Every structure is written in structure tokens, then in C-alpha cells.
Amino acid sequence: MSRRIRVEIESRNEFWHNALGVEWEHQFPDRRLEKVGKHAYVIDEDWLEDLQKVASQVFSRVLLSPDDPGRRRWFRSLIPGGDRE
């Protein structure tokens, strides 16, 4: 069994974020992304490379999340305009 990791998806806007979901389901219908935040997901580690490829097709990128999401929120709170999830 593959290790599960938490990732965040950054997109140009909500249209492209939604396009990533549609394209992912089209290319990998047997792989469900488990949503754990507005733009955060838990995936099998083995899927990371494929998810990054799909993201690049729709003006998005995949970032590994820290083990403690609260830490990222804390850092973002220190940056003006960085409080979006």
C-alpha cells in the first residue's frame, strides 16, 4: 500500500482549479482525490508525478503540504494577502 501525502493545488483561478479536477477524473477515473481543505488533498504518494503533469496542463501546480497545516496558516497570516486557504 502506498503512503498517503497531503498536497495543495495552486491554480490561476477557480476555473483552472476546477479544470484540474475534471481533467484528473478524465485521465484517472479510478483515482479519487480526497479533499481536506479548500485547495488541499490527500493522495497516494505514487500519484504525485501524474497529478503534477495534469496540473501543468491546466495552469496549476502541486505543492507538498507540511505535516502540520496550522504552521502554513500561521506563516500566511504574517504576509499581507497571504491568508487565503
CATH architecture of 4-77: 2-Layer Sandwich (3.30)
* Helix (H/G/I), strand (E/B), else coil: 70: helix
The domain limits of the chain are: 4-77
- Global pTM exceeds 0.85: no
pLDDT averages per 10-residue partition of the chain, 85 residues: 90 96 97 93 96 97 79 66 55
Report d(CA 16, CA 66) in Å as an integer: 24
Question: Do 59 and 16 touch, CB atoms closer than 8 A?
Answer: yes
